[in-house]
Amino acid sequence: MNRDKIIIKNVHTNNLKNIDIEIPKHKLVVFTGVSGSGKSSLLFDTIYTEAQRQLIETFSTFARTRMPKLSRPDVDDILNLSTAIVINQNRMGNNLRNTVGTATEVNTYLRLLYSRVGKPFIGPSFYFSFNHPEGMCPHCKGLGKQIKIDLDLFLDREKSIRQGAISHPHYRVGGFLWKELISLDVVDYDKPLKEFSEDELNLLLFSEPFQIKNSKDKLTFYRNFEGIARKLEKAVASRADDETGEEEKNAYTKYFNYQPCEHCGGTRLNERARKVKLNGLTIADVCHMELVDVLPFLLEIDDEISKPILRKAQFLLQQLIEIGVGYLSLERAVGTLSGGESQRVKMSKQMDCNLVDMLYVLDEPSIGLHPRDTENLMNILFRLKEKGNSVFVVEHDPDIIRAAEWLIDIGPKAGKYGGHVVYNGEPEGLYHVESITGDYLRRNDKPVYQRKQGTSFFEIKNASSNNLKKVSCKIPKGVLTCVTGVAGSGKSSLIHECFAKQHQDAIVIDQSPIGKSSRANAATYIGVFDLIRKEFATATNADASLFSFNSKGACPKCNGQGVLTFELHFLDSVKTTCDECEGKRYHSEVLELKLKGKNIAEVLDMTVTQAYEFFDSVKIKKHLFLLQEVGLGYLKLGQSLSTLSGGETQRLKIATELKKEGNIYIMDEPTTGLHMSDIDNFYKIVKTLVKNDNTVIIIEHNLDIIKYADWIIDMGPDGGKKGGELIFQGLPEDIVNCEQSITGKYLKNVI
């Protein structure tokens, strides 16, 4: 048997049409196709999932209970699989204690280095860890931040506590904590807070824990009381954001300000650790530096004992710089990284892995990268392959597609019109087959640009957020402005931190993830499901809640899930289609109620385009038209959000925001996850917005969007401290002549 190929037989995951395919190993293989065609279904939901599932099955039953539960994908057989490692765009959590330094383990080597050769000697490496009691600042507990409650938001001084003077939802009138507070004789709960003395207010908010004698009927007991603001501040400081539910997280963070710790200056370390120096710098100084500056610092250290430590740290730093994140600092919290930055940080760690014959699976690694940095990315991918591994990549970037050693094009279109293997072979062959991807790779025509000229301007003056160096620029009103520059140059700081804060009414479409609950679907997300349920209610004289599978209408056996889950204790749980509702999610009586001959389950099984023709309601049509406009007409109304690709998710979010009325739109890399053909469709949407005199500002790296801009603001010249300057503002035709602009050099080839 040929072991150099992964052989897949009859895969029918999601929209894949019972395909058989052979994929060569030990090559850079790129999976491409329009958004929603089935690329991710084949690579992630089938190949990677099965590789992980089979690996987990080799572990003991005890170990498997503590690992992710993976169901077998919809495929007959997969032969010659290797152990798979996925490097995706999932954020690396939002724990304040997790930094770039800890995530990459560079901090580990730095701590070892300072404990060995730093002066004066204070002890072992954990004395330099802000996550260890011996190293952390005792005042901020190693967070580097002081968490202070915003009393103006927290309190309504016109009211008494009994009337609801404490705005925090945990202390709402009638709630548990409110009742507990009222039961303790601490202050006058019927007096408005504005009449409280300073001592009374401090007692209520910031008092140290103390015992209160309390009487109830004939019983006397003691209760501990702690200032409510002090208590909440401690609760926020003690928990990681990624371990907290969204609702609870918002309830806390809304009322608090984060300020640098006044004792450690935000370094997170205690005074003892901050006094140890190496070549004149403390470990806090090094963590504050950009990665491109940390490397020269380590190269200057000449110590025989530390050579193994230095070699590992230098190697990791070199990978991070090469992959395009050299502008980051080691102290940067991972929760502040974009999806693309998180993916590249995770990728750099794999370069130090000595395992071979692995299968690396990457999801659009070029996201967030300037064309300059894409070249470095390709070098990294080939180095992973040259170590004896297989590298499988989902990608839309034409440069990476052209550089692939093997190409798999899925299509021909999206949704139910996709799921076929359009092409499977060497890249040159794609130019000779009928394929949307091939059509775009073949075309070399340069369109005629009709640029709109702005007559008035928004102005940004002396912007200095993050790395910005007192930038002043102007943004024309009623036109398309693209903000460009390499990663870390200051684009997001200029628009999000400065412009957006000046214009609170602007509609911001960013890269924040949408919820992917199994109960959420395209109809619920865009808000059309409520309208559909009302239509059914009016037509059948029934309660609208009956037509929700999350409410009264849910199948009693599966509770509206459509599937039954059987827990097998020490074995993986098994999911089967509900035999009572047959996966339709609804009670049988609800399915008898019909609108124009269709029940609610049949309507949810319609595509957006079919539903648009089915309904007469103007409001419903308006919502569905927006989905069609962003190229999602093939989606089924009831399709779970968890089955959507990255590109589909992005367009769904855009459709939701476009239904709002505003005159300023800010979009942060909206082409993420979009195929070349989808970018053209997206531009048509933007063009419509501009035609209606809306101001559209797009932060973008994609040259196919930049070339259509009416105005360009180019930041740079590089990232981090070498960026933060205005390099150019003006027309795309003029930026190609700007010698300082890196963007201009690449734009010259497409304009």
- Look-up: residue for tokens 């016109």? 158
Contact 68, 48 (CB under 8 A): no
The 3-state DSSP class for residue 476 equals strand
DSSP state of 225: E
Whether residue 717 has a cis bond before it, omega within 30° of 0: yes
* Spans of the chain below 50 pLDDT: 217-219, 240-249, 569
Token pair of 48, please? 């990677």
Contacts of 727 (CB under 8 A, 6+ apart): 485, 714, 715, 716, 717, 738, 740, 741
Q: What is the pLDDT of residues 102-148, one digit of tens each?
A: 999 999 999 999 999 999 999 999 999 999 999 999 988 888 888 77
The 3-state DSSP class for residue 361 equals strand
In angstroms, the first-to-last Cα distance of the chain is 50
The pTM for the full model equals: 0.77
If we measure between CA atoms, which residue out of 413, 399, 649 comes closest to residue 515? 649
- Look-up: residue for tokens 């009211």? 159
Token pair of 243, please? 């371990």
Whether residue 412 has a cis bond before it, omega within 30° of 0: yes
Res 240: pLDDT: 45
Contact 534, 623 (CB under 8 A): no
Q: How many helices (H) and strands (E) does the chain have?
A: 31, 23
Contact 656, 522 (CB under 8 A): no
The 10 Å Cβ neighbour count of residue 287 is: 22
Res 241: pLDDT: 44
The 10 Å Cβ neighbour count of residue 303 is: 12
Whole-angstrom distance, CA of residue 290 vs CA of residue 151: 36
Res 244: pLDDT: 44
Residue 482 — φ and ψ, nearest 5°? -105, 130
Res 371: pLDDT: 87
Instruction: Dihedral sign for Cα 214, 216, 218, 223, please.
Output: negative
